[in-house]
Amino acid sequence: MSKQWNGKACPACFHGILQQRTKQTQFEYRGHVLEYEQEGAWCTACGEGIVTGTEAAASESLLDGFVARVDKQEASELARVRKKLGLTQKEAAIIAGGGHNAFSRYERGETKPVAAVVNLFRLLDRHPELLKELKKRKAA
């Protein structure tokens, strides 16, 4: 446990003292942020900390669930936008630069799309008129 670090000098900044406590922590994944409480030995000066395997394991299922929800949400969002634009999965893959089955795998959650694909379809959701320009460039 990180309690062994309680009261010791911070190995990150060498200015603060580590204190065993629970700290509000943020975990960011694909542009989504989860705030949660994390037990550990936290520096009074720089805020860095030491989290042991036991302490990290206590948050692991929370983080795994968050990642799964974000992935599922992105897959649903891609499917919704693709359908709104009237594109087949194959057409969407061509526009995004993926293989012919890429969107099928994205929408089933088998593969995580790169951030550029997600961002492109978010932009097309807000500005569907840009789809005509993309189709022109792919045809040329």
Regarding pTM above 0.75, the answer is: no
HSE, CB side, 13 Å, CA atoms: give it for residue 79.
12
SS3 74: helix
Domain boundaries, the chain: 1-51, 63-140
Give yes or no for residue 139 having a pLDDT over 70.
no
The residue-averaged pLDDT of 11-24 equals: 95
Give yes or no for residue 140 having a pLDDT over 70.
no
Which tokens is 10 given?
A: 């911070």
The residue-averaged pLDDT of 128-138 equals: 83
Give me the architecture of the 1-51 domain, per CATH.
Roll (3.10)
Q: For residue range 76-90, what is the model confidence (pLDDT) as tens digits?
A: 999 999 999 999 999
> What pLDDT, on the 0 to 100 scale, is given for residue 2?
61
Judged by average pLDDT, the poorest of 48-52, 84-88, 134-138 is 134-138
> What pLDDT, on the 0 to 100 scale, is given for residue 109?
86
Q: For residue range 90-115, what is the model confidence (pLDDT) as tens digits?
A: 999 988 887 878 899 999 988 888 88
Indicate if 63-140 has the same CATH topology as 1-51. Answer: no
Between 2 and 17, name the one with better pLDDT. 17
> What pLDDT, on the 0 to 100 scale, is given for residue 133?
86
Alpha-carbon gap, residue 65 to 55, rounded angstroms = 17
- Which CATH number does 63-140 carry? 1.10.260.40
> What pLDDT, on the 0 to 100 scale, is given for residue 138?
65
Tokens 């379809």, residue located: 121
Neighbours of 53 (CB within 10 A): 10
The per-residue b/e assignment along 72-103, b for 16 or more CB within 10 angstroms, e otherwise, is eebbeebbebbeeeebebebbbbbbebeeebb
